[in-house]
């Protein structure tokens, strides 16, 4: 577990490893600006439907499997300046972020405690 609830929506870091500042500052309003309203809505449906599994934080990368018609490996990355990018094994290429990436971002914003830490030593 990365975070534990302190009440009032506040979370305390439970790890010695650093979490990228972009992940700590990410809010839903920013996620909405990344895609069209339709893609955001579909991503929210996938999140709310429990389609995001095995969420993992690996430094500047959020990873998860998002299951729809098939299971897709999805990654959302940040860089030191806070810019976001994504990679997904789905065939969607019309926007920089697919509904699966939006579902992963919503999982992070709404349920950060569901993410485990990957990477070194794991």
Distance CA 111, CA 13 (A): 14
User: Could you tell me whether strands 61-67 and 71-78 are parallel, antiparallel, or unpaired per DSSP bridges?
Assistant: antiparallel
How many Cβ atoms are within 10 Å of 114's Cβ, its own excluded? 17
Q: Tens digit of pLDDT for each residue in 38-57?
A: 999 999 999 999 999 999 99
Section 95-107 average pLDDT? 96
Q: Tens digit of pLDDT for each residue in 3-36?
A: 544 344 444 444 445 788 999 999 999 999 999 9
Distance CA 109, CA 100 (A): 14
Please give the biggest Cα pair distance in the chain: 40
Query: Looking at residue 69, what is its pLDDT?
Result: 87
**Domain segments of the chain as ranges:** 3-117
């Amino acid at each position: 577990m990365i975070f534990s609830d302190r009440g009032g929506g506040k979370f305390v870091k439970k790890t010695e490893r650093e979490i990228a500042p972009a992940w700590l500052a990410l809010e839903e309003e920013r996620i909405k600006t990344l895609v069209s309203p339709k893609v955001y809505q579909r991503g929210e449906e996938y999140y709310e439907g429990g389609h995001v599994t095995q969420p993992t934080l690996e430094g500047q990368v959020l990873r998860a499997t998002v299951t729809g018609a098939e299971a897709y490996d999805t990654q959302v990355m940040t860089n030191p300046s806070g810019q976001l990018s994504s990679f997904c094994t789905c065939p969607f290429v019309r926007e920089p972020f697919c509904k699966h990436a939006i579902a992963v971002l919503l999982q992070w914003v709404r349920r950060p405690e569901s993410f485990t830490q990957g990477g070194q030593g794991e």
